[in-house]
Chains A and B, each alone.
Chain A
Amino acid sequence: MNTKKKTLSLALSRNFLFLLGLISMLAFACNDGPKNEKQKTNPADIVVDGKMLAELTSPPFVPAPVGNRSAKHLVVEMEILEEEGTMTDGVQYMYWTFGGTVPGSFIRARVGDEIEFHLRNHPDNKLPHNIDLHAVNGPGGGATSSFIAPGREAVFHFKVLAPGLYVYHCATAPVGMHIANGMYGLILVEPEGGYPPVDKEFYVMQGDFYTKGEYGEPGLQPFDMKKAIKEDADYVVFNGAVGALTGDNALNVNVGETVRLFVGNGGPNLSSSFHAIGEIFDKVHMEGADLINTNVQTTMIPAGGAAIVEFYVDVPGEIILVDHAIFRAFNKGALAMINVAGEPNKTIYSGKVEEGIYLPEGGGIQEMPRSPEEIEKAKPAEFLSKAQRIDMGKNVYMQTCFACHQAEGQGIPDVFPPLANSDYLNADVNRAIDAVLFGLSGEITVNGKKYNSVMTAQTVTDREAANVLTYIYNNWGNKGVEVTEEMVQSRRKK
């Protein structure tokens, strides 16, 4: 009996000890957690396997993803070219470039790559240059080792240790001037295995430019150091020029695709409030680094920094990339376009414009600028010929009326009535003057079609009203009336 008890208690105690042991083992196993992380390879220790010539691409395209390739001895051959280019219509600028483009060629590598960097300064260039890549761990980011005269080549090696999207730029004195003239680009270091695949990838880089002349002043514009120091930019553009990514140069994607943009900001001065009109960024690799934010409307990209944004495209139309410091977008050129083709999705976006009040930009709400010359002009003293009237009237039309009634007075069907060959207009001049001065609402019939919209009263002087009406009456098949200031004044008094 006692033996049985003893055996039982022994068995129990054994079990107990066993359980105790198990529990303590588990506890210690948990403590092993941090140790396991340390066992991951230090990027400096990644072994390279084979040599490879880097495929450099011109913006807006990027080289193929690294995928699963191992770290390689990567040879990069980058040429510096000083050459003239077009900033916008009629405006030329002397760009200093990496690879002949602004931004410079896109370099794509993966963590652990050992890069053999050849920097070549074309013999026709006037100035020495160098390169500072933010992906480099080393003095000057490579600048100390790559300072070269025209007609020469410098070679240095560096191992990329951290994944991310990095800016590179020239760092020769005066550094601001070299960067301001376009010497910047991006180098992508993908993590092992690369980023998850997407359907389309593009390269976009913002920069600010400083010219002696104002925005749009024609000719070869030299760089203006004073403006650059004051940070008073004339042009803020994507990819080196106004319209570099609009019109025929717009990017093209399809509904249902995932798009990734590698976005940089070369500066030299301005940070970017990067936003896509019509889209939300599903993912933003903030500052081109590891942290990923989701569902972002506008992301901050510092000068000398970058970001990777990804979004899934739901509906067709135009996605417009802007710097949301909005005057830069609409007045200095910080605007790029992505055309989306494909089937509409009415639930997500119906795409129908309801009729109703539409206040276009450039309408009566806008104040007409009042320079001293214009105030002089507005004085009724001098005599104007009919031809002069029509000319001045055209300017008024293009600033004020064109947004709704369009360039040839054709209007927009069902929305804004035409002024071209308009029976409504030609029937009653006074009524036309009243429409300009006091506005017009309610249903009207023009050339057989009904319109029921609102025309706002226009804030114009008597002279401007007279001139614009004379212009309208003397174009597009209208009856050729000359509207005088006296006629306008008399209607105003009523």
Chain B
Amino acid sequence: MKPSDITPETRANERTFRLVSSLLAALMLACAVATVVSLLTRIAPDWQPWYLVAFCFIVALDTFYNYGKFKKIDLFSLEWFQAAGTQVVVLLAALRAVIGLSHGLEAFLQELTAGWFAFLTSFLSVEYLIGLGMCVLAWLFSLGFAGLFDEMGLDAELIRMDGYAVTPGETRPPRERLLGLVFGLGSALVVFTALMRLDFRAALGGNWAGAALDVPPLSNGGASTLLYFLLGLALFSQTQFIDLHNRWSINRVPVNAAIVGRWAFYSLAFLVILTVISSLLPTSYSLGLLASLGYALNLVVYLLFSFVQLLVALVLLLFGLLAMLFGREPPTETPDLPSFQPPILPPVPVEAASTPLPWLEVAKSLLFWGLFIAVLLFALVQYLRQHEEVIAVLRKRRGLAWLGRLWDWLRVFWQAAQKGMAGMVSAGLERIRSRQSLPRRAGGWINLRNLDPRQRVFFFYQAFLRRSGESGLPRSLSQTPLEFASRLDRALPEAEPDIEALTAAFIEARYTPRPVQPEKASRVKEVWEHLRKALRKRRND
């Protein structure tokens, strides 16, 4: 394919990919800067450098915009020095201007009109140096993102050229590196956010219980870090599409045009649902793990006992009614059953005691611990699935071989349980569906319209057997369809092709999984009509 064969639509898609990816990455970097600024404001409450968020966002956008242009210039050439130098000078001056303006217009004008020495000393303030450091970091991360986007979203022209092939390199694929970059930066942000939720004075004083500050989840950098990860997930969806699209383009696989729009819609819907569910799940607990487990066990025993009590009461009622038939009075008093107290709600901690519904706190704790254990198990299983070598090492160690066996047992047990459950559910559903889909009989007749093609073939064959029997050619129980057909061939030589055709259609419908087409069922009907005439003629003779 020639480069000229690339449609304007493809080029527009490529441009849209670059634009959306760059915008997402720039927003992520702005969120990261917001978390760092939150930390800075906590360290120095008098300083509020929120303007850095917007400034770093613009720096990131500028980097993405100019990345392609810089790539075309030779590194350290005169042209490169001119372009890079201009950018750096503009960046330094703009940052200084923003910092100066953040103190007010008058203060900034005074700074400008002061002597050159005073201006120079105020130019290189601590505030400016920190801001500059953050801008440089934003620029470096933007470069990293831009490079990865460039590797992933290869030129449509290059991909579509005949003979293009991807050679497996030694480095990790760019998308994996992108995941690493997003999660690496995200880990640092999580640490910063956690630091903002610690009372250092209490921690340094040895009071660990009071070290954790009780702050709302979205304050102290929580909102920006959370938004960073949400945008990261959106970026993963975007890059996943590009990764797949490139693979399909390389292999020259035609792609449905509707996929682009639907991908964006499903990604958005998925992320919205995920965010809503995550925000609704319990993030705190009133009961400890053991207390919650004990309560859950007690509840199960109580329910079982209530069920047994109900059964016993029903049996006694039945006996009482039978006794009435023989003229005896039914027992008025039921025997005393051992009483079982419902589980008593455990004492709820003081802060939750004011809640009017203590069972809600218990339910929340149960749900929380259930989710917590599920998350732990899920992470462990995922890790072991992707690191089979860990299991292999465990198997070789003498003392730890049982861990490997335990893993095998758990895996087999889980698979069997999953299969069994799925089997039970599908069997139940199948039974319900088969009841619903049974052809309705009106007055004892089968309605042919309600039968599927396979069932229609069965029907015609059964009718054929019945008519043959009536014509003095019954099929014995030991005869296979083919044996029966060869016997009939001798008795009705003129109908041999029809007998063969009907038998072959029946064998195919009965003993192969191949779908029976409606046209085939119609042909079988025609064959059956011929046979019916032949059998009738024989009967009349």
Report whether chain A binds chain B.
no
B interface residue numbers (CB < 8 A to A): none
A interface residue numbers (CB < 8 A to B): none
